[in-house]
Structure 1
């Protein structure tokens, strides 16, 4: 239970991502829209998820998470979230979405270096 609480924001943001990505696209029809807003949303969601993970990992372990294993796990989550959309009627799997998800994750790793460049490796 203690480990779960240590990563509460990571878990909450993962849950939010799944909910948002599985909502019918009609749920967003009243929101302001512009070309590419869905890609920006993917980038932002995975930026928040990844930054939450990095910061909570640092707090729990007092060092940075291992980059390659972290990215591997994040890619699995990205792939899983896209595959889940195949089971909805108004969503679909898109490789471009996965690229924006990954860009958000990589931006979070870069931001974490800027926020605390002295963090242990």
Structure 2
């Protein structure tokens, strides 16, 4: 569990920020699509932190399909939970399929970063 402290903390931050009413960010400059960009960024960071926890826990120096499946599964389930909460509990927020898509894109970006950067063990000499 100690390896996942950063990803758990980030998950709580995402949950809190996604549950705030939209009026709380009225003073922040916005452009069309900023909501999707924020969702993508949230889940990119979450995926990276989940990979960090998994790598530290397993002590691996090689890319692993099992690690990627765990990260993607947790991220997608967490994204579904957030959208469900916005639909049923935080009714002042809107649950959108495009938000879920942006979450999955952010997770995919994290997977890509892992595969790209964690593969560098082959080239270290």
Query: What TM-score results when the alignment is normalised by the length of structure 1?
Result: 0.88
Task: Name 1:56's counterpart in structure 2.
Answer: 53
Task: Name 1:27's counterpart in structure 2.
Answer: 24
* Contact preservation (8 Å) 2:47, 2:72: no
Please state if 1:96 is matched with 2:93: no
- 1:12 pairs, out of 9, 14, 20, with 9
Q: In 2, Cα distance between the equivalents of 1:40 and 1:11?
A: 21
Task: Name 2:111's counterpart in structure 1.
Answer: 109
Pairs aligned (count): 117
Q: In 1, Cα distance between the equivalents of 2:27 and 2:84?
A: 26
Moved over 3 A (4+): none
Task: Name 1:70's counterpart in structure 2.
Answer: 71
Task: Name 1:79's counterpart in structure 2.
Answer: 80
Q: In 2, Cα distance between the equivalents of 1:52 and 1:115?
A: 14
What runs of 5+ residues in structure 1 fail to find an aligned partner?
none
| Greater Rg by CA | 2
Please state if 1:46 is matched with 2:46: no
SS of match in other structure, 1:44: helix
Cα distance, 1:39 vs structure 2: 0.2
Q: In 2, Cα distance between the equivalents of 1:62 and 1:74?
A: 21
SS of match in other structure, 1:102: helix
Cα distance, 1:118 vs structure 2: 4.2
